[in-house]
């Protein structure tokens, strides 16, 4: 049974449920022209587990946030495939095939400006670039790693980032089906032989939705589009070390973690910087640097995005941690836990978490306790938390839930 609290009635524990997709998801995340989410959605360890059947294979999504990304990727694959089947695309491929040779000619006639715009290492592959282009664009595209040498062209990389962001997809996503189609379309678009009109600013539920919580400004969007991963690293390193006082060693651990994409790193750093220079930012980065999967990294991203929303109404003065979970102290004296939590059921683990939270010593005695989550909670969990004097805020950020 839950721990005794004066004046709070005992609430029976419940089992983690298997939710029904149609009962919890907004229609655009439940199904579309090219995908359907399977009905059974187990709620496991605070994260909803989704399985998605699509025209491009079966995908899994280990959280609400990941579901949004997968749906954007699937929609993006469909758009890219439709574009690559048009007559315009076929003509553009034929016209673009010889363009790398024109680049070589530019190296002779205008060497200073051309060399300044071409990355080191291009000279060795210019001769074979035309054939590589034909293979990548006409022979099915290969996989994402095929033609990586050619993809080193900075202009091509920027084109891929631009296309991805317009479709609401992380340019650095690890979905090979999406990257395959992206590489195929990006070549003629990059070489100026194809005018790409995706027909929409972003796919609903893509990264644009996630970023909007962290102040999705034109500056941030332009940085993700225009800056290379190296440029993003330099920008983020400066913010971490110079503005937030994070050590160079801790910053490097965070920025060198392959499980945290450059996009996720940039969102986390941008969101943290909005909080001002407050104690605990360095500790947050140290914890985020331990991310062992993309899902872990997204959890830290979502936590700091919730912090931004909190900070808009009650300024955060300090970030601490409880067993690895970020805990914020606010100007009003509240203790707030901003956490990725897709579904809260009233379990012994949740009861222990609340007990440990309320036993924690803070720099000032808490005036209130709040848990802010991205997901939903069972009526039993909501009742139990209220009885223990903990305010629960659900759907704190935009997500796929009804």
Lowest-confidence pick of 176-190, 308-322, 350-364: 176-190
Let me know whether 220 and 316 are in one domain: yes
Tell whether 64 and 160 lie within a shared domain.
no
Residues 232 and 138 in one domain: no
Q: What is the pLDDT of residues 211-227, one digit of tens each?
A: 443 445 677 888 998 99
**247/375 same-domain check:** yes
Closest of 291, 171, 275 to residue 214, by C-alpha: 275
Quick one: tokens of 189?
Answer: 């678009």
Model pLDDT, residue 217: 64
The count of structural domains within the chain is: 3
323 pLDDT higher than 90: no
Average pLDDT over residues 146-172: 75
If asked whether residues 68 and 105 sit together in one domain, one would say: no
Residue 399 falls within a domain, yes or no?
A: no
Q: Is the pLDDT of residue 91 over 90?
A: no
Rounded to two decimals, the pTM is 0.82
Summary mean pLDDT of the chain: 83
Is 244 contained in some domain? yes
- The pLDDT tens digits for 209-265 are 444 434 456 778 889 989 999 999 999 999 999 999 999 999 999 999 999 999 999
How far is it, in rounded angstroms, from Cα 143 to Cα 157? 16
Question: Do 231 and 378 belong to one domain?
Answer: yes
Q: Is the pLDDT of residue 295 over 80?
A: yes
Domain hosting 124: range is 77-190
Residues 39 and 136 in one domain: no
In terms of domains, do 142 and 246 share one?
A: no
Structure tokens at 19: 């939710």
Banded pLDDT at 183 (limits 50, 70, 90): confident
Does residue 206 lie in a domain region? no
> Do residues 379 and 343 touch, judged by C-beta distance below 8 A?
no
């Amino acid at each position: 049974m839950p721990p005794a609290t004066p004046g709070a009635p005992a609430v029976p524990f419940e089992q983690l449920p298997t939710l029904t997709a149609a009962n919890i998801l907004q229609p655009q995340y439940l199904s579309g022209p090219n995908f359907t989410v399977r009905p059974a959605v187990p709620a496991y360890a605070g994260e909803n587990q989704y399985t998605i059947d699509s025209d491009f294979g079966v995908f899994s999504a280990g959280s609400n946030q990941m579901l949004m990304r997968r749906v954007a990727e699937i929609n993006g694959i469909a758009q890219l495939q439709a574009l690559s089947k048009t007559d315009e695309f076929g003509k553009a491929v034929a016209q673009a095939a010889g363009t790398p040779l024109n680049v070589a000619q530019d190296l002779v006639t205008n060497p200073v400006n051309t060399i300044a715009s071409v990355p080191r290492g291009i000279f060795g592959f210019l001769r074979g670039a035309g054939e590589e282009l034909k293979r990548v664009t006409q022979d099915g595209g290969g996989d994402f790693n095929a033609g990586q040498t050619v993809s080193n062209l900075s202009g091509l990389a920027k084109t891929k980032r631009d296309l991805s962001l317009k479709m609401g997809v992380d340019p650095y996503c690890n979905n090979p089906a999406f990257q395959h189609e992206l590489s195929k379309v990006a070549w003629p678009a990059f070489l100026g032989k194809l005018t790409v009109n995706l027909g929409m600013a972003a796919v609903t539920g893509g990264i644009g939705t996630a970023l909007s919580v962290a102040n999705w400004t034109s500056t941030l969007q332009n940085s993700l589009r225009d800056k290379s991963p190296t440029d993003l690293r330099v920008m983020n390193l400066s913010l971490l070390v110079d503005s937030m006082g994070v050590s160079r060693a801790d910053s490097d651990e965070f920025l060198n973690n392959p499980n945290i994409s450059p996009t996720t790193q940039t969102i986390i750093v941008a969101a943290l910087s909005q909080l001002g220079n407050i104690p605990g930012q360095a500790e947050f980065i140290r914890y985020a640097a331990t991310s062992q999967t993309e899902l872990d990294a997204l959890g830290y991203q979502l936590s700091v995005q919730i912090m931004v929303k909190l900070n808009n109404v009650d300024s955060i003065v300090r970030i601490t941690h409880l067993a690895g979970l970020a805990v914020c102290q606010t100007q009003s004296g509240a203790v707030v836990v901003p956490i990725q939590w897709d579904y809260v059921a009233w379990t012994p683990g949740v009861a222990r978490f609340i007990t440990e939270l309320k036993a924690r010593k803070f720099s000032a005695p808490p005036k209130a306790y709040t848990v802010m989550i991205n997901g939903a909670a069972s009526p039993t969990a909501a009742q139990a938390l209220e009885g223990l004097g903990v305010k629960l805020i659900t759907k704190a950020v935009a997500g796929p839930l009804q």
